A and B are shown apart, each in its own frame.
Chain A
Amino acid sequence: MLAWTIYISFLGAAAQMLLPRANARAARLTALLTTVAGFAIALAAWWRFKPGEILTVTRVPWVPSLGIEYHLAADGIGLTLVLLTGLVAIAGVLFSWNVELRPTEFFTFYLVLIGAVYGVFLSFDLFLFFVFYEIAIIPKYFLIAIWGSTRREYAAMKLALYSFAGSAMVLIGIIAAYVESGAKTMSLADLAQFPFPLHFQMWVFPLVFLGFAILAGLWPFHTWAPTGHAAAPTAASMLLAGVVMKLGAFGCLRVAMMLFPRGMGPWEFHVAGFGSWRGLFAVLALIGIVYGASVALVQKDFKFVIGYSSVSHMGFVLLGLMTLSQIGLDGAVVQMFSHGIIAGLLFAVVGRMVYDRTHTRVLSELGPMHLARAIPFAAFTFVVASMASIGLPGFSGFVAELEILIGTWRAYPLLAALAGVGILIGIAFTWRALDKAFLGDPAIAGASGSPLPPITAAERVGAGILMVSTVAVGLYPRLLLDLILPAFQSPLFDGLRRMWR
């Protein structure tokens, strides 16, 4: 049943190609229907999901002579992210309601991307995982290059090349692991039990981890993220920050850490103070947190503020992964979900509610427009998103960052303190953006242009869905924790659990 999240997205994409090319209305409705159906399937699966189980969806031989299977399954972590994808996908369609340029093509690429993302989260065969992971690259490129804004062709190509370079590294690791284990199976469950030699894990782990982490925005390989996010059309930024960056983080966890856990062990020597890949990546993640937040503090372009904030928040995910403790890993997965929702919300406000109406994203130009009065709903949404983003209690961000900080505190106390600094800077840049964009000085006369068009119903619904999700998880975190925590007890994570004892 859960496999239909993938199929229905691809079928929806195919249906888009059959629609009359100029009929935007039909295109949007089809897309909305498809994404809602996908989310409904995910919800139904979640309803029946028993915590801790691995729900096998489909398992058939694909290329028998090479041991490759078409194996879809869901554990709690995958399911969490499938739910996230469903939510963001619906919201993304609602915030693309005003796409009039080549609408059928837009939604074709959009739905192919969604289908591929579902596929990654549900794959339990390494080959299949990689197939879906790579399918996601091409639609991203076209979404940005055709429908984007600022330097779109450059940003799109940069994103595609970064992604492809990352996946090339991953491919090397995957092929090496496949051959090392005897070239008989690609099943994640079997490979997770295979005792790869220590020296092998020591070189494959960083390779695969970095390959995936590029897409998760790990400093210093994050530079695609701000330009890509800023250039992308609203829905694409929402997906990019909301789910595509999660693909990278998910790959780090599901492939790099799960299959090669001993690669995180100590090196037995020290280089520049680092004693293991784990320490190195933790520090890079921390730099990402602080650097992303600091740079966001001085941006003039509203969308770049959000773009850099994504780098900062994804740093938390990677830091959580590197704590190598149950609470830290759990926090990382919750943060993936939480950031997916919040980033979606922030980009929706900036890209759709503000930019599509004012046609500027420069903070100093937005101030005099008195947006809080002109489009109060946008201001309200942004305030909610900001509160969630800086991790106020009652929102999903709080649960996630708290868990990550506790995990980090146990593993690397110093880093935890510095991550706290990162959170403070996060509050500062969020407040600055809120202040400059929405709460302009009332003394300055507003631009006397035509009044901005009101917020449409589609936007209200889309924002509503995302706000409800973040508050729901914030108030009742067990919604996700009950899914995620037992997942770490499954045999898949045997090797990883041995690392954290």
Chain B
Amino acid sequence: MTPLSYFELLRLTLPEIIVAFAGLVALTIDLMLRQRPAAIRWRAGALAACAGCAAAIVLIVLRPEAANLYDSMLVVTPLTQLAQTVLAAFTILAVLLSVDSDFTAHVGEYLGLVLFATAAMMVLVSTQNLLVIFASLELLSLSLYVLTAFNKRSRQSAEAGLKYFLFGSMAAALFLFGISLLYGLSGSIELDGIAAAIHLQPLSPLLAVAIVMIVAGLGFKIAAAPFHLWAPDAYQGAPAPSAALIASSSKIASFVVLAVVMLVGLAGEEGSGAWRSYMAGWVPLIAVVAVLSMILGNLAAIVQSSVRRLLAYSAIGHAGYMLLGILSDSTQGLSALLYYVITYALATIGAFGILAALDKYKVDRAVDFAGFSRRAPWLSFCMLIFMLSLAGIPPLAGFFGKFYIFSTALLTGSGLLWLVILAIAMSAVSLYYYLRVLKVMYVRGSVDGSGQIKTSLLMNATVGLIALLVVLLGCFPAPLLHWIDGALRSMPH
């Protein structure tokens, strides 16, 4: 073990530290402005939060690093830096979308938790040590539980927070159990060490149990069936800005860590998920999870009347597609996964941003959107873009993401044609429920007595920016792809 160099550690974790510090600043500012109106407190706090995230992004972009410290506790590669940049950027979006909300008077605490969660995610993606993964995952989860239950005036919010917490602690226990088994089998808690140790052994029952536990623990975070039960309630009950964060950046971080654990830590234990030639390993296991998620998510979404629940079930379906990127078991698969999860998160955060903007108007069920295209033309146009991107209609980002991840799964995964066919069939199903929401918005006339919807300029601009990104990433996928591929080229395998 190399001797600890605290200065080195400080230098490499400076982005995370800045974000966490910004959280403290936001808390302090809010404390000083206690007597001022909420609007001012939101703006001041958000400014601090955005400044912190922006500073972290600038720092990462300007100073590319590569390091591996203390048994992989801290791994800094272009890939982790890419993930951190994206996560910080999504936090900025989530914060901007929360500025106009009035679900709470505790502005400082809210923003502080958002930034702590972000710091946790940034640590999460830049480690290959199972204990650090677990610790940061817990910090992330605890922040998100509180954010879910943040609306104290709403029973639904409290219920969602409790459910999320109960399921989450169960998943964490399973994950920890899996870690302990892996440690027992390999004598190591860093992913490379584990891979080196178990790579030579045949798949023992103990290892199989460990893999199942790990997948269950992380499957909870990505809301894949059958570990999805918290998602619909959390998406529906949580304040919209919190839900935006849970549905977007938390998804990105969880997928990155799942991919790293599977591809690095369990390399050599893939097995096979090819049609009629299964072999035990993590590939068939994840294939099962993917199938369940795709089918359950998409079919259950059809019958939802609440838009948030619909988004939750569609998130489960999308988690199924994204697992194909991990199943591809290749660098290109990781590239496809990253592209997909980033564009997916963009469309989702945009959709939740619109729901956040409409919080005052008590819009939840799909039918509440009647006549929306005339009451709020701009927001409904953006919603159209987000929904169609989620449905995978070109030229929006969601389509290229689907194409890339499906063709990669076919190209580098072994014998996954059956899964690709299922995924494409299910995404055809998904058009139905996305169109249903759009139908109410554009086709139905508004209910009497509902006038124009007024939203702030900042809200409109943020949602518009996200929509623009969704369109641009769909029409010009090459730059983001180039960035991702450049980051992945430095990976060892």
A66 within 8 Å of B (CB atoms) = yes
Tally B residues with Cβ within 8 Å of A. 31
CB distance from B214 to the nearest CB of A (A): 30
CB distance from A482 to the nearest CB of B (A): 34
Choose, from B115-123, B274-282, B418-426, the stretch at the interface: B418-426
A161 within 8 Å of B (CB atoms) = yes
B378-412 vs A, Cβ < 8 Å mask (1 yes, 0 no): 00000000001000011100011001101100110
B69 within 8 Å of A (CB atoms) = no
* Residues in A whose Cβ lies below 8 Å from that of B432: 157, 161
Choose, from A26-34, A171-179, A251-259, the stretch at the interface: A171-179
- Let me know if B435 and A160 touch, CB within 8 A: yes
Choose, from B15-23, B226-234, B475-483, the stretch at the interface: B475-483
Q: A178-B407, A183-B407 are in contact. Are A164 and B478 (CB under 8 A)?
A: no
A148-192 vs B, Cβ < 8 Å mask (1 yes, 0 no): 000001001100110011011001100110110001000000000
Q: A62-B478, A168-B424, A172-B421 are in contact. Are A179 and B435 (CB under 8 A)?
A: no
- Let me know if A63 and B410 touch, CB within 8 A: no
Choose, from A139-147, A274-282, A315-323, A353-361, the stretch at the interface: A139-147
Q: A63-B477, A65-B482 are in contact. Are A135 and B411 (CB under 8 A)?
A: no
* Residues in B whose Cβ lies below 8 Å from that of A153: 439, 443
A131 within 8 Å of B (CB atoms) = yes
B136 within 8 Å of A (CB atoms) = no
* Residues in A whose Cβ lies below 8 Å from that of B404: 66
CB distance from B369 to the nearest CB of A (A): 14
CB distance from A23 to the nearest CB of B (A): 15
CB distance from B394 to the nearest CB of A (A): 4
A64 within 8 Å of B (CB atoms) = yes
Q: Which DSSP category, helix, strand, loop or mixed, fits chain A's interface?
A: helix
- Let me know if B406 and A175 touch, CB within 8 A: yes
CB distance from B53 to the nearest CB of A (A): 29
- Let me know if A175 and B428 touch, CB within 8 A: no
Q: Which DSSP category, helix, strand, loop or mixed, fits chain B's interface?
A: helix
A301 within 8 Å of B (CB atoms) = no
Partner of B481, one of A63, A164, A165: A63
* Residues in B whose Cβ lies below 8 Å from that of A146: 442-443
Give Cα A157 to B482, complex, Å: 38
Partner of B478, one of A64, A130, A161, A167: A64
- Let me know if A131 and B399 touch, CB within 8 A: yes
- Let me know if A179 and B395 touch, CB within 8 A: no
A297-337 vs B, Cβ < 8 Å mask (1 yes, 0 no): 00000000000000000000000000000000000000000
Give Cα A57 to B477, complex, Å: 22
Q: A135-B395, A138-B393, A165-B428 are in contact. Are A175 and B442 (CB under 8 A)?
A: no
CB distance from B332 to the nearest CB of A (A): 9
Partner of B395, one of A105, A131, A175: A131
Partner of A168, one of B388, B403, B425, B443: B425
CB distance from A130 to the nearest CB of B (A): 7
* Residues in A whose Cβ lies below 8 Å from that of B439: 145, 153, 156-157
* Residues in B whose Cβ lies below 8 Å from that of A157: 432, 435, 439
Closest to A170 in B: B424
B80 within 8 Å of A (CB atoms) = no
**Which residues, 186 to 220 on A, are CB-close (under 8 Å) to B?**
none
Give Cα A123 to B478, complex, Å: 19
Give Cα A160 to B388, complex, Å: 13
CB distance from A267 to the nearest CB of B (A): 21
A137 within 8 Å of B (CB atoms) = yes
A365 within 8 Å of B (CB atoms) = no
A127 within 8 Å of B (CB atoms) = yes
A134 within 8 Å of B (CB atoms) = yes
- Let me know if A134 and B485 touch, CB within 8 A: no
Give Cα A234 to B219, complex, Å: 50
CB distance from A113 to the nearest CB of B (A): 13
B427 within 8 Å of A (CB atoms) = yes
B376 within 8 Å of A (CB atoms) = no
* Residues in B whose Cβ lies below 8 Å from that of A168: 424-425, 427-428
**Which residues, 425 to 483 on B, are CB-close (under 8 Å) to A?**
425, 427-428, 431-432, 435, 439, 442-443, 477-478, 481-482
- Let me know if B478 and A179 touch, CB within 8 A: no
* Residues in B whose Cβ lies below 8 Å from that of A63: 400, 477-478, 481
- Let me know if B393 and A137 touch, CB within 8 A: yes
- Let me know if A164 and B410 touch, CB within 8 A: no
* Residues in A whose Cβ lies below 8 Å from that of B400: 63
* Residues in B whose Cβ lies below 8 Å from that of A171: 403, 406, 424
B417 within 8 Å of A (CB atoms) = yes
CB distance from A185 to the nearest CB of B (A): 13
- Let me know if B481 and A134 touch, CB within 8 A: no
- Let me know if A175 and B420 touch, CB within 8 A: yes
Give Cα A161 to B427, complex, Å: 11
* Residues in A whose Cβ lies below 8 Å from that of B410: 175-176, 179
Give Cα A264 to B403, complex, Å: 27
- Let me know if B485 and A138 touch, CB within 8 A: no
Give Cα A462 to B54, complex, Å: 57
CB distance from B106 to the nearest CB of A (A): 41
- Let me know if B424 and A141 touch, CB within 8 A: no
Give Cα A298 to B144, complex, Å: 63
- Let me know if B393 and A65 touch, CB within 8 A: no
- Let me know if A134 and B420 touch, CB within 8 A: no
CB distance from A360 to the nearest CB of B (A): 24
CB distance from A421 to the nearest CB of B (A): 36
Give Cα A105 to B443, complex, Å: 11
Give Cα A105 to B373, complex, Å: 10
* Residues in B whose Cβ lies below 8 Å from that of A176: 410, 417
Q: A168-B427, A179-B410 are in contact. Are A130 and B394 (CB under 8 A)?
A: yes
* Residues in A whose Cβ lies below 8 Å from that of B427: 168
Closest to B404 in A: A66
Give Cα A176 to B410, complex, Å: 8
Give Cα A141 to B442, complex, Å: 11
Partner of A175, one of B407, B431, B435: B407
Closest to B388 in A: A138
CB distance from A249 to the nearest CB of B (A): 21
Closest to A166 in B: B428
Give Cα A347 to B410, complex, Å: 44
Q: A146-B443, A165-B428, A179-B411 are in contact. Are A172 and B435 (CB under 8 A)?
A: no
Give Cα A157 to B435, complex, Å: 8
Give Cα A156 to B406, complex, Å: 28
Partner of B443, one of A62, A137, A145, A172: A145
Partner of A172, one of B393, B420, B485: B420
- Let me know if B442 and A164 touch, CB within 8 A: no
CB distance from A332 to the nearest CB of B (A): 27
* Residues in A whose Cβ lies below 8 Å from that of B443: 142, 145-146, 153
* Residues in A whose Cβ lies below 8 Å from that of B411: 179, 183
Closest to A207 in B: B421
- Let me know if B431 and A179 touch, CB within 8 A: no
CB distance from A453 to the nearest CB of B (A): 27
CB distance from B233 to the nearest CB of A (A): 29
Most central of A66, A132, A153, A161 by chain B CB within 10 Å: A66
Give Cα A160 to B395, complex, Å: 17
Closest to A148 in B: B443
Give Cα A165 to B421, complex, Å: 12
CB distance from B63 to the nearest CB of A (A): 26
B-binding residues in A (CB < 8 A)? 61-66, 105, 127, 130-132, 134-135, 137-138, 141-142, 145-146, 153, 156-157, 160-161, 164-165, 167-168, 171-172, 175-176, 178-179, 183
List 10 A-B pairs, Cβ < 8 Å: A65-B481, A65-B485, A146-B442, A153-B443, A157-B435, A171-B403, A172-B420, A175-B420, A183-B407, A183-B411
Besides A134-B399, A142-B443, 18 new A-B residue pairs in contact (Cβ under 8 A), listed by A number? A62-B478, A105-B373, A131-B399, A135-B393, A135-B394, A135-B395, A137-B393, A138-B393, A146-B442, A157-B435, A157-B439, A161-B428, A161-B431, A164-B431, A168-B424, A168-B428, A175-B410, A175-B420
Give 8 nearest A-B pairs by CB, closest first.
A168-B428, A131-B394, A179-B410, A145-B443, A164-B431, A175-B407, A179-B411, A168-B424
